[in-house]
């Protein structure tokens, strides 16, 4: 956190008037993220080489989970992107499994022109400290990018009576 804060300050000195939208804060985002950002206000979220928490009992501490994906979806605007990269194949597979099964995210294919031209994909693979370390050690990097998709429930009025009172209510997704 301190390294990133100092890097932002240095960049602001180098290029006055720039980097005003960058900041860093040491906090527990797993608990407080929606308290810091209004609904739909974030365009990109990055999870670069997070702690894999290998032990099964620590899997709930992973930064990508069903519950946390819902919180990320809350702060991300429709069309915004969630980026993940790791050098641990098992963790990458976990990220993909959780994100693929979440109704508010769709994967952008790795070979798509969109990702080939996305400077963020290149940056997280080659410009992060951890990415450079993995490269120096000859390791593999696994990444996935997801788009936040819109979700709206169509509301329709149901006339409840004795015959349909216990019927399930169908929610339609647009």
Six token digits for residue 64: 């990508």
Verify whether residue 118 is a known catalytic residue.
no
Catalytic residue among 51, 87, 118, 167: 51
Q: Which residues pair with 46 in a beta bridge?
A: 83
CA neighbours closer than 13 Å in the CB half-sphere of residue 119: 0
Nearest-angstrom CA–CA distance, 67 and 29: 13
- Cβ–Cβ < 8 Å for 143, 124: yes
Q: Which residues are catalytic?
A: 51
């Amino acid at each position: 956190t301190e390294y990133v804060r100092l890097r932002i300050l240095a960049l602001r000195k180098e290029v006055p008037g720039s980097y005003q939208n960058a900041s860093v804060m040491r906090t527990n985002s797993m608990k407080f993220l929606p308290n810091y950002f209004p609904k739909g206000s974030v365009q990109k979220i990055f999870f670069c080489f997070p702690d894999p928490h290998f032990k099964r009992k620590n899997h709930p501490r992973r930064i990508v989970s069903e519950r946390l994906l819902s919180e990320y979806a809350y702060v991300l605007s429709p069309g915004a992107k969630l980026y993940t990269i790791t050098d641990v194949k098992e963790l990458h597979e976990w990220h993909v499994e959780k994100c693929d099964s979440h109704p508010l995210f769709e994967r952008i294919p790795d070979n798509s022109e969109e990702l080939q031209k996305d400077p963020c994909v290149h940056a997280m693979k080659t410009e992060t400290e951890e990415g450079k370390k993995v490269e120096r050690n000859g390791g593999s990097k696994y990444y996935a990018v997801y788009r936040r998709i819109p979700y709206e429930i169509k509301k329709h009025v149901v006339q409840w009576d004795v015959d349909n009172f216990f019927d399930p209510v169908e929610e339609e997704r647009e």
